């Protein structure tokens, strides 16, 4: 019996050490991305001539548009506000020399996809960034106290991803290459109370993306879900950047180094470390009444203090 227990403890210890080793290797990829899996300079351009970015008028969408243009792609920017799109498009063209096409579309409506598909006809699209999304409330609140925008949120956060992927994946499949980046959230990696609808919508993106990558990885198509934590954007009321909260430009520039690192990333080293720490916290702690009360009071106050004017 003692021998059995001894062997059992050895096996358990070995598994723990092996798990710790895997985590260390995972973080080494993010610390030395150019050594681990250096992307050729022409990688993104080799996928196709154009990149399509939804929610491209500001925040992460604007940052992805700029960064992909710097890497040699022409850009299709899709968003709701035409004036903002045109202004950013001019900035990109002047800064990079790449072509920029703008499409005005309100993703809270399900009627926009036929016209979007027509606008994209004839373009060789190598990259799709499904970035558009909305947050029902930037501050934590209980489900019944949240604004009644559930249908808009589902259309914007979920339907947009499936429809845009369906439109563009067809031509990627024919060419046996392409990259689809689906923006989820760290709040979608676990059932997050007080952000219930947003968390659930981002969890859908996570599951959808991973399942789709399993279907199409053998056809040369990369489908990756990006699940960041804190980014300073209009949706987050321009939280002050810091160790955890990144600017959109910082985040996008770093995250594009990791597009070959698997079907899910957090997008930057700081967020990978935060995700690792979050996984150590039992779900019953995150779901406890006490922690929810703290979030409703102290965390709300903290967020308001970190807001800054755009």
First to last CA, the chain: 67
198 is catalytic: yes
Active-site annotation holder among 64, 113, 198, 258: 198
Active site residues: 198
């Amino acid at each position: 019996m003692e021998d059995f227990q001894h062997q059992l403890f050895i096996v358990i210890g070995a598994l723990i050490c092996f798990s710790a080793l895997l985590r260390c290797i995972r973080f080494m990829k993010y610390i030395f991305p150019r050594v681990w899996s250096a992307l050729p300079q022409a990688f993104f351009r080799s996928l196709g001539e154009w990149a399509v970015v939804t929610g491209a008028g500001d925040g992460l969408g604007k940052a992805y548009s700029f960064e992909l243009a710097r890497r040699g792609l022409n850009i299709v920017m899709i968003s709701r506000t035409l004036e903002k799109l045109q202004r950013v498009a001019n900035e990109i063209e002047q800064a990079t020399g790449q072509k920029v096409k703008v499409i005005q579309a309100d993703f809270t409506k399900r009627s926009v996809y036929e016209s979007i598909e027509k606008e994209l006809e004839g373009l060789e699209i190598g990259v799709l960034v499904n970035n558009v999304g909305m947050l029902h409330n930037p501050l934590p609140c209980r489900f019944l106290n949240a604004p009644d925008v559930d249908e808009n949120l589902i259309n914007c956060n979920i339907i947009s991803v499936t429809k845009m992927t369906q439109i563009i994946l067809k031509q990627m499949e024919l060419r046996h290459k392409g990259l689809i980046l689906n923006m989820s959230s760290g709040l979608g990696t676990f059932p997050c109370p007080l952000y219930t609808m947003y968390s659930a919508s981002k969890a859908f993106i996570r599951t959808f993306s991973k399942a789709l990558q399993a279907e199409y990885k053998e056809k040369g198509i990369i489908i990756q879900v990006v699940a960041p934590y804190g980014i300073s954007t209009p949706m987050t009321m321009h939280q002050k950047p810091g160790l955890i909260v990144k600017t959109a430009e910082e985040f996008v520039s770093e995250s594009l180094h990791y597009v070959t690192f698997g079907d899910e990333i957090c997008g930057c080293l700081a967020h990978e470390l935060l995700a690792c720490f979050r996984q150590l916290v039992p779900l019953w702690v995150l779901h406890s009444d006490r922690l929810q009360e703290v979030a409703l009071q102290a965390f709300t106050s903290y967020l308001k203090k970190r807001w800054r004017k755009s």
